[in-house]
Structure 1
C-alpha cells in the first residue's frame, strides 16, 4: 500500500500539468513499515531524456545527492514519479525496461483528458493501492 497525502497528490498533478507536453519526473521521499510506503515529500528533477515528450530520465547524481541528504533521517528514496502526457497511468514498455531494486515505487500521472494516478512496485510493476 502507498500512502500519499492529498496535498502531495495535488502538487504532483500540478507538476505534471506544468511540464506538459513533456514528461515531468522526480523522486519520492518517505518511509517503509510492514508493507506500507508513506510518501512524505517529492523532489522534482529535470527530465534529461533526449526525447522528454516521450520518456523521462533522472540524472543519477540527483538520486545519489538525495540519498546522501537523507542519511540518518529515518527517511529514504522510496521511488520515483513521472507523467504520461496524453497517456495512461500504467507502465509503458520503456518503463518496464528500467531496472530498479525490489520495492522501488513508481507513481505514474496521466495528464490526458482524464487525469489519473497509479502506483506500481518494481521489479514486477504490480499495482499498489493508493490511500490518500
Structure 2
C-alpha cells in the first residue's frame, strides 16, 4: 500500500464515526492522529509532525471545545476531493470545521485554529 506525507488530525470524533474515518484514511494511505484536549497547546505544526516544530511541554487543562474538527496536512485539491467523496460514499456525516495546514495556521495551537474556524463557519452561515 502506498503511503504519503498526508496526515489528518482528528478532534472530538465519536468512536463509531472515527472507525469509519480511519477506514477511509487507511485505504487512502493517509496517517491520522487523534488530538486530545491535553494536546491543545501544541502548535498545529507540531501535531502534524512538521520538522522544526517542537512539542510544547505544557498540557492544556482548560475547558477546550467539543465540536468536531479535522485538519489536513499535505493534501492536494484532488486528494481533498477524493477524501470528501469517500466520506460521502461511506456515509460519514460532515465535519463542519475543516482546515488545511497553511503557513499561517502552522504556528497556531488548536484553540486558536478552532476559534478562527468557528468564526468563519458562523460568518458563512449568516
Fold in common (TM above 0.5): no
For the pair shown, which has the larger CA radius of gyration, 1 or 2?
A: 2
TM-score (norm 1): 0.34
Between structures 1 and 2, the one with greater helix share? 2
